[in-house]
Amino acid sequence: MIDLGRLRARHAVARHGSIGAAASALGYTPSAISQQLAKLERETRTALLERRGAAARRDRRAGARPGRAGRDNP
């Protein structure tokens, strides 16, 4: 079963645009968010972010954008 906290971390990164901003919004360190995302990627065997040095953004293949899940999501 996938941990809800890891999904929240992934959602926050997609919504806020960076690991640092997501960490700030959730009250965690960027390292903690990064670790949660790495665990989620291992569990799902899916790359969730495109990593470029210190920057990371949502991988287009990673699924729906926040706020669209459950609606008209292809």
Query: CA-CA distance, 58 to 15, in Å (whole number)?
Result: 9
pLDDT at 14: 92
CA distances from 43 to 1, 17, 32, 36, 68 (A): 9, 22, 17, 11, 23
Q: Would you say residue 69 has pLDDT above 70?
A: no
pLDDT tens-digit readout, 7-59 = 999 999 999 999 999 999 999 999 999 999 999 999 999 998 887 765 555 55
The domains of the chain, with CATH numbers, are 4-61 (1.10.10.10)
Q: How high is the pLDDT of residue 51?
A: 72
pLDDT of residue 62: 53
Helix, strand, coil percent content, the chain, rounded in steps of 5: 55, 10, 35
